[in-house]
Structure 1
């Protein structure tokens, strides 16, 4: 499916890749945050605030949304934001295991090795931050379905090289686009805006690394390998994106779950928002040879293209 760890270890060091890692390490030293100190965890939740920009709600511009009271709309966005955060934690745990396995027993003096550990440390802090944020939004622990959890367990075990890093990039890019809107929106709870800002700043470095690793691992790759890994990444992306908003958010927001699910599934506004927001990501995957005919089917199903 992908190049083995041993093959990656034997490859000569890429000077440009090393320089990227050095720049990311320098940036991390200059601009990083401690969520325990930066986020206002003490001030009680103000229920007059949204948890996310209303435009990003899965029900925005549906007939159900128009019938909801402002209080219901705000509660729904809070539950949806908590669900996205919980899904983020789930995938960040997958990410950490894939990166640790990829750099296992490699040269610790390599800047890329040191950056990988830095990224893992960032992800640990982000996961704790998301967990505390979801709790402050008064949401339960939203988890993907059992099937998706087990598929994630398999993926983190077998995914190597470009398959791992391209999937990491998809998950981070989709979340990044959402959070860039939320962190600037004065309707969103201040502590949520701070969480989003921290994540956007620090994830920008992670996405740069994921792009560079994807390109580096694909150097010299043939058509068959790109076809296979393009499909693997697309399938992983489908389950990540479709797990972001848990079906239980509607009942927890006091809504009719069946009607909400039906209208959310048919919501063309939300589908269009996802597609337009991921245009740059799809362009990158296409340039890397990972946007194939088979993979496109899954991206369309996930409303990413």
Structure 2
């Protein structure tokens, strides 16, 4: 596939300036823009039922309404716990990259704006987990070291592809959540709406960075970038179906995990979440054969 034309630095700066103006017009301060003291709505889901990993399985049919709602609560907390990990990693990577950029360029100004957005998102997600009344799904010492190591690896074009793997999949899943309608907790709807609004600019910036750089990559770098993102498929699939989700609500964690991982309804949700990013990676010629096999193996394609 022929790569699209790359943007000039001037084009990159103009694009960054447009995003800066958008940020000035439409940004949020979650600590005051969300009513954290509002009561949770009784019996409302935290994810649309069809997005819950066990939806449609034999185990789901045996669960009562309370267990179903509680599983949606745990899975919501799991999603946004992973969001905190990723945004921590992205902020570390952006800060390292800034030491090799001009501190007066519009691109750097926008990256600093994105850092602020992501810091507020981490606060918002942490407050939301606290408010729904569950423990976060947090990495142990080994997992934390892995997150910090990945932050050092994400450089150059791999930073922008890694950013999209983290941001676009969550963005598409959050749009599915917002489509869940009035059966959802108002708190969840508000958190998702804020994140989708601000994340749209981050996704545009990362996509522009890839379009700018892809035509200049060496064959070796292009091959690495086009295939290494496939590692995200395993990470997402395993963490979205961690046995602790099911243990916490009194289910047999291993059996629940087995049913979730084999669940066609869950696979359909994953494919819908990956579809926009898959189309973009195909468009810019960065869906390598190894990555494609990995995303397919873990049901995202």
TM above 0.5? yes
Structure 1 residue 237: Cα displacement: 4.8
Equivalent residues in 2 for 1:115-194, closer than 5 Å: 115-144=110-139, 148-184=143-179, 185-194=181-190
- Taking only aligned residues, the RMSD between alpha carbons, in angstroms, comes to 1.8
The whole-number CA distance in structure 2 between the counterparts of 1:95 and 1:283 is: 23
Instruction: Flag structure 1 segments of 5+ consecutive residues without an equivalent.
Output: 1-11
The whole-number CA distance in structure 2 between the counterparts of 1:148 and 1:80 is: 19
The whole-number CA distance in structure 2 between the counterparts of 1:302 and 1:166 is: 19
The whole-number CA distance in structure 2 between the counterparts of 1:96 and 1:280 is: 23
Partner of 1:259: 255
The partner residue of 2:191 within 192, 195, 198 is: 195
Partner of 1:272: 268
TM-score (norm 2): 0.92
Partner of 2:107: 112
Extract structure 1 runs of 4+ deviating beyond 6 A: none
Bigger mean CA deviation after superposition, 18-27 or 281-290: 281-290
Structure 1 residue 283 corresponds to structure 2 residue 279: yes
Deviations along 1:79-102, one digit per CA (max 9) or x if unpaired, are: 100011101000100000011111
Asked if 1 retains the 8 angstrom alpha-carbon contact of 2:52 and 2:72, the reply is yes
Larger RCO of the pair (alpha carbons < 8 Å, separation 6+):
2
Bigger mean CA deviation after superposition, 93-102 or 252-261: 252-261
Bigger mean CA deviation after superposition, 69-78 or 37-46: 37-46
Deviations along 1:250-286, one digit per CA (max 9) or x if unpaired, are: 1112222122111101111111221133222112112
The whole-number CA distance in structure 2 between the counterparts of 1:186 and 1:107 is: 47
Instruction: Flag structure 2 segments of 5+ consecutive residues without an equivalent.
Output: 1-6
Partner of 1:7: none
The whole-number CA distance in structure 1 between the counterparts of 2:234 and 2:219 is: 22
Asked if 2 retains the 8 angstrom alpha-carbon contact of 1:35 and 1:129, the reply is yes
Partner of 1:5: none
TM-score (norm 1): 0.91
Alignment CA distance shift 1:124-1:88 (3 Å): same
Asked if 2 retains the 8 angstrom alpha-carbon contact of 1:87 and 1:144, the reply is no
